[in-house]
A and B are shown apart, each in its own frame.
Chain A
Amino acid sequence: MDEEYDAIVLGTGLKECILSGMLSVSGKKVLHIDRNKYYGGESASITPLEELFSKFGSTLPDEVTFGRGRDWNVDLIPKFLMANGSLVKLLIHTGVTRYLEFKSVEGSYVFKGGKISKVPVDQKEALASDLMGLFEKRRFRNFLVYIQEFSEADPKTWKDINPQSATTAQLYDKFGLDPNTKDFTGHALALYRDDEYINDLAIHTIRRIKLYSDSLARYGKSPYLYPMYGLGELPQSFARLSAIYGGTYMLDKPVDEIVIENGKVVGVRSGTEIARCKQVYCDPSYVQDRVKKLNQVIRCICLMDHPIPNTKDALSCQIIIPQKQVNRKSDIYVSLVSYTHQVSAKGWFIAMVSTTVETDNPELEIKPGLDLLGSYKKKFVTVSDYYEPTDLGTESQIFISTSYDATTHFETVCTDVVNLFKRGTGEDFDFSKIKLEEEAS
């Protein structure tokens, strides 16, 4: 450990592992440390099942048999990959995709008027859908055609609205969409968590709807992908990328001090050893005094022996409960994965209900989500603080990622990583640096 590094990365969560990979690939000498003895931090998939129970301070009960414990790989933070999203692009460009296999999520649902309806994926489903009336369907169709033909580079396709100055509300009104359709569009397609976007620029909403439909076009069933063996495979794969480009890994290593001289980081101390470095990249848990708490996210893991009712027995799906439907400010998300992804024993399902906390009784807040699940055999609830760094790290050279938010996908994760990389190196990440030894020599 007593060596000098360009960068020391603390924590092996997904963001830190992607950063570590990017830094190693860019030729930096990287030391990557985790205080835990496993990879992934909060992004790990917990295995075996006994470990999950003990993490939540309980033990496997005798009365329910959950199958073989080591067949379980349970995520702590539920997310799916958008098939055409930034994480998929990053996986492909870095070649990390070779370590992973995926399955397409079977369906996306939205909660309306007390029940769930499938988000239509083709014209047939759209015509049959009870999400909106016939006339509204026509207006909505016009709106979608506009989005599909819209090109940022070609003002002719903007028609008579300037998406760079108009708000989303103005865009909706131009197409005469009713409040229900606006709600559906903003929350089930553009995947906004609350209604603040309404006054944000139309272009942002258009981009998000395009991401949804381009992702959907990839595999047809839904815009989402999920990796075999759980999300914990993602940080591990990027850690591997870092390692094959020279990064050094240390697990189970306590981090006792981030050593500062003249306001700037010079090393990391573990016990009596000090590894010297020019920069530190880390998650908020390693620098409690340099982050501020913004809000909280509640996540509830439910182990079930059946699929979610009214989803055509889907082995994986997502349900969005738009905030207005349940008189909230932020949406509630339900996600389901199962034995088909090798994350649970045969016949078992893992549902997750999550949202941004708004009251002092968060468990009550997720009830509308839990009610959709039918029965469950075991429930684990976490309420985690959402942190942001107090400064950009320019002076201290300590670059801190934000906590994982309540969004259902990885878009904000990638944005944060790309920003951190840019802040730390002053450069945009250059994908052409990723060359195999063969090509390089």
Chain B
Amino acid sequence: MASIKVPEQKVILCGEYGVGKSSLFRRYAYDTFISSSSRKSTLGLDNFNKEYKVDDRSIQMQLWDTGGMERVASITSSYYKFAEAAILVFSLDNAASFHVLSQHLLEIVTYAENAKIFLCGNKSDLEGTTPQVTEADMENFCEQCHNLISSTYKTSCKTGEGVEEMFADIGRQLILSNRSRLELQTMGAGGIGTDSFKLGGRGSEEGEVAEPPCLC
């Protein structure tokens, strides 16, 4: 059959344009940093798989970038579907990017209601001595949203500081919470809904026909 059950855990990046989501994605995927925000930087690529392990348990974390849709329009609701976790990203040198997070949070709980949610203050290298967003601000935010946020992190894509630590910690939490997709689906709206599948990958559609058709 052409169907495959995908064991990946989908993790999405959310937040304003320019806070460094694609940079986090880039660090995660290739451990590189590009200082210009060239739009071409994520051309054609919007998700990347990586394995994380705790003892003998492992997951394929599949990180998703927005594809820059948030630049002018809103992100499609389908971006959120099937997400097991969402990382709310803001820029530590830009208070406005922090204050709109409740907006993004609302989208997450609407379209990916069972996703674990994490908070990430990026560009920590630009923080300086008078931070635009303090740790107290971050704590307050978490309290205000009824502790929906599982953990908070500070990262710098420029120096790399805190980035791998964040993804490793999120991977660890996903493994420990041990929620399988099956469980998530049963918790979800429709209840039963476990036999859905992805269509075969590119090029693989040939030669999958199991047996000759028989209407007769």
Contact = CB atoms under 8 A, between A and B. Distances in A.
Interface of A: 37, 39, 47, 68, 70-71, 88-89, 91-93, 95, 97-103, 119-123, 126, 140-141, 144-145, 148, 189, 212-214, 216-219, 225, 228-229, 233, 236-237, 239-240, 243-246, 248-251, 339-342, 344-346, 434-438, 440
Interface string B181-216: 000000011111101111111101100111111111
Contact of B81 (A95, A120, A229): A229
A437 B26 CA distance: 12
B71 interface: yes
A47 B80 CA distance: 15
Given A103-B195, A244-B46, A437-B44, 6 more contacts: A97-B200, A101-B197, A119-B215, A213-B213, A218-B209, A240-B67
A244 B43 contact: yes
A342 B190 contact: yes
- Which of B3, B76, B81, B209 has the most C-beta atoms of chain A within 10 angstroms of its own C-beta? B76
A243 B43 contact: no
B35 interface: no
B213 A216 contact: yes
Nearest to A223: B213
B114 interface: no
Interface string B148-170: 00000000000000000000000
Contacts, number: 157
A339 B205 contact: no
Dominant SS at the A interface? helix
A148 B211 CA distance: 12
Contacts of B36: none
A126 B2 CA distance: 25
Contacts of B200: 92, 97
A119 B213 CA distance: 13
Contacts of B77: 39, 47, 236
A71 B189 CA distance: 6
A344 B198 CA distance: 21
B33 interface: no
B45 A437 contact: yes
Contacts of B71: 248-249
Interface in B61-86: 67-69, 71-74, 76-79, 81-82
B97 interface: no
Contact of A438 (B3, B45, B212): B45
B42 interface: yes
A240 B2 contact: no
A103 B213 CA distance: 19
B29 to A, nearest CB: 9
A244 B44 contact: yes
10 contacts: A39-B77, A99-B78, A100-B198, A101-B198, A120-B216, A121-B214, A244-B68, A249-B72, A251-B73, A340-B193
A437 B214 contact: no
A229 B208 CA distance: 26
Interface in B16-67: 39-40, 42-47, 67
B94 to A, nearest CB: 22
A120 B201 CA distance: 29
B193 A239 contact: no
B1 interface: yes
Contacts of A122: 214-215
B81 A339 contact: no
B190 A71 contact: yes
A144 B216 contact: yes
Given A244-B46, A436-B44, A346 B189 contact: yes
Contacts of A103: 195-197
Contact of A243 (B68, B81, B82): B68
A134 B106 CA distance: 61
Nearest to A237: B78
Nearest to A142: B216
Given A103-B195, A240-B79, A440 B44 contact: yes
Contacts of A218: 1-2, 208-209
A6 to B, nearest CB: 15
Contacts of B69: 239-240, 243, 249
Contacts of A37: 74
Given A100-B198, A148-B213, A236 B76 contact: yes
B47 A98 contact: yes
A212 B197 CA distance: 21
Interface string B127-146: 00000000000000000000
A121 B215 contact: yes
A246 B71 CA distance: 11
Contacts of B209: 214, 217-218
B180 interface: no
B110 interface: yes
Nearest to B214: A122
Contacts of A229: 78, 81
Contacts of A99: 78
A92 B206 CA distance: 11
A141 B205 contact: no
Contact of B189 (A89, A246, A345, A438): A345
